């Protein structure tokens, strides 16, 4: 936290305590965190102050603090107040990635939590396995998908991990076309996407029959396969029932064979994705959505307030008991192109941690 931020935080804490005292629901701000785009205050209420009394004052508190969005929820720290950082900072992939290299096997970098730790997702974990990314236009879905794909490629040798990219628009993974991890050129056509998924189903069945998994063959003879699907809803509408069947089979049995699906869509409604398909995405990464109903559909649970997120890479990771808020690690198209020019010399070479690098990370 910068010295310039301290007076602002002290002023906001005073405003919170003043509003609560005026409404006979006193409490004291005991601490908090300052993230790239989010500030959290920890409130210790007086013994007679009820949580619902504090929550009912959300609009009054937001008005006093002059912040457009304020969420109030229970947490391990007491009552947690979350509001936007007036001086948001960009989380850059090129800065964050060296801090977590070398990545653990089958692990992708997502971004940075509001406590300042890198957020990692280990695909081999049953709690992750497959990932569904949701959010409206401008939420940062494509940026998150590129970050996941690039971190997987940089963190793993091409003989240990292969990428299959289904990209109907042909833009999200275009820059990764020269990566040696690409099992085939990026797929845009629905018919070709169906053929790719059916091929992966056959690979899964062969591996199952032979008892072959990446974990049993750590030398790389059985590489892990990650299927990246952008605009899943668009692909499903074009591919029809046959594509849905192939994808559902991969989601149901793919993890044990070392095949993982990471897909993005604006709204994973029942009209687009079957309940069986949605149930097989243990980890949901949810960006800003339009309404509370969309937030429930995208996250698979109520009360996440995903419709109150700030957009532009502000996401919730939903898989465990409590949603985890994080900022997507961003890399611009120009930086990505420059990065790819050096890709072959960087690929799977462990980048040294800086002298003060953080070796701890939030893991999913």
Task: Give the pLDDT confidence score for residue 354 in this predicted structure.
Answer: 33
Task: Give the pLDDT confidence score for residue 217 in this predicted structure.
Answer: 73
Q: List 45's β-bridge partners, or say none.
A: 27
Task: Give the pLDDT confidence score for residue 353 in this predicted structure.
Answer: 33
Task: Give the pLDDT confidence score for residue 321 in this predicted structure.
Answer: 75
Tell me the C-alpha distance between 187 and 185, whole Å. 6
What is the arithmetic mean of pLDDT over 57-82?
92
Tell me the C-alpha distance between 94 and 336, whole Å. 9
Residue 106 region by backbone torsions, left for phi larger than 0, else alpha for psi between -120 and 50, else beta: left
Tell me the C-alpha distance between 307 and 311, whole Å. 9
Please report which confidence band the pLDDT of residue 300 belongs to, taking 50, 70 and 90 as the band edges: confident
Tell me the C-alpha distance between 130 and 96, whole Å. 23
Please report which confidence band the pLDDT of residue 348 belongs to, taking 50, 70 and 90 as the band edges: very low
What is the arithmetic mean of pLDDT over 98-122?
92
Which one is predicted more confidently, 89 or 142? 142
Q: What is the largest CA-CA distance in the chain?
A: 70
Unique residue bearing structure tokens 């989601």: 251
Task: Give the pLDDT confidence score for residue 204 in this predicted structure.
Answer: 96
pLDDT, tens digit (0-9, with 9 covering 90-100), for 309-320: 888 899 999 987
340 in Cβ contact with 103 (< 8 Å):
no
Task: Give the pLDDT confidence score for residue 360 in this predicted structure.
Answer: 45
What is the arithmetic mean of pLDDT over 239-254?
92
Question: Chain-centre distance of CA 184, in angstroms?
Answer: 25
For residue 13, cis peptide bond before it (omega within 30 degrees of 0): no
70 in Cβ contact with 81 (< 8 Å):
yes
The two tokens of residue 1 are 């936290």
What is the per-residue DSSP string for 275-325? HHHHHT--EEEE---SSHHHHHHHHSSS---GGGS-STTEEEEESSSS-EE
What is the arithmetic mean of pLDDT over 169-187?
89
pLDDT at 102 over 60: yes
pLDDT at 13 over 50: yes
- What domains are there in the chain, each with its CATH number? 5-84 (3.30.980.40), 93-346 (3.40.50.300)
Using the 8-state DSSP alphabet, how is residue 182 labeled?
Answer: B
Task: Give the pLDDT confidence score for residue 81 in this predicted structure.
Answer: 96
pLDDT, tens digit (0-9, with 9 covering 90-100), for 74-97: 988 899 999 989 988 889 998 999
Task: Give the pLDDT confidence score for residue 264 in this predicted structure.
Answer: 95
Average pLDDT, the chain: 87
- CA-only gyration radius of the chain, Å: 22
pLDDT, tens digit (0-9, with 9 covering 90-100), for 17-58: 999 999 999 999 999 999 888 899 999 999 999 999 999 999
pLDDT at 298 over 70: yes
E strand or H helix at 351: none
Unique residue bearing structure tokens 């120009």: 334
Pairing of strands 70-75, 78-84: antiparallel
């Amino acid at each position: 936290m910068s010295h310039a931020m301290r007076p602002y935080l002290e002023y906001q804490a005073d405003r919170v305590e003043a509003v609560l005292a005026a409404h006979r629901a006193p409490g004291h701000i005991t601490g908090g965190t300052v993230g790239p785009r989010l500030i959290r205050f920890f409130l210790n209420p007086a013994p007679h102050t009820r949580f619902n009394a504090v929550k009912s004052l959300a609009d009054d508190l937001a008005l006093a603090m002059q912040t457009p969005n304020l969420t109030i929820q229970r947490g391990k720290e007491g009552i947690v107040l979350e509001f936007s950082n007036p001086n948001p900072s960009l989380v850059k992939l090129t800065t964050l990635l060296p801090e977590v290299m070398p990545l653990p096997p089958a692990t992708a970098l997502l971004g940075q939590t509001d406590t300042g730790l890198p957020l990692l997702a280990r695909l081999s974990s049953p709690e992750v396995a497959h990932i569904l990314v949701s959010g409206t236009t401008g939420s940062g879905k494509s940026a998150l998908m590129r970050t996941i794909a690039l971190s997987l490629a940089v963190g793993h040798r091409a003989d240990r991990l292969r990428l299959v990219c289904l990209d109907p628009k042909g833009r999200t993974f275009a820059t990764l076309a020269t990566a040696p991890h690409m099992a085939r050129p990026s797929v845009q056509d629905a018919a070709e996407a169906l053929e790719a998924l059916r091929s992966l189903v056959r690979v899964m069945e062969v591996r199952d029959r032979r008892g072959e998994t990446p974990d049993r063959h750590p030398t790389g003879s059985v590489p892990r396969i990650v299927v990246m699907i952008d605009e899943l809803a668009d692909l499903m509408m074009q591919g029809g029932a046959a594509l849905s069947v192939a994808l559902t089979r991969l989601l149901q049995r793919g993890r044990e064979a070392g095949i993982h699906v990471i897909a993005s869509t604006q709204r994973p409604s029942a009209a687009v994705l079957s309940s069986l398909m949605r149930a097989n995405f243990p980890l949901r990464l949810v960006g800003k959505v339009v309404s509370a109903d969309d937030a429930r559909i995208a996250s698979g649970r109520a009360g996440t307030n995903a419709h109150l997120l700030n957009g532009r890479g502000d996401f919730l990771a939903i898989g465990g008991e409590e949603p985890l808020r994080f900022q997507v690690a961003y890399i611009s198209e120009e930086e990505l192109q420059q990065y790819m020019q050096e890709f072959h010399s960087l690929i799977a070479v462990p980048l040294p941690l800086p002298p003060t690098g953080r070796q701890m990370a939030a893991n999913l």
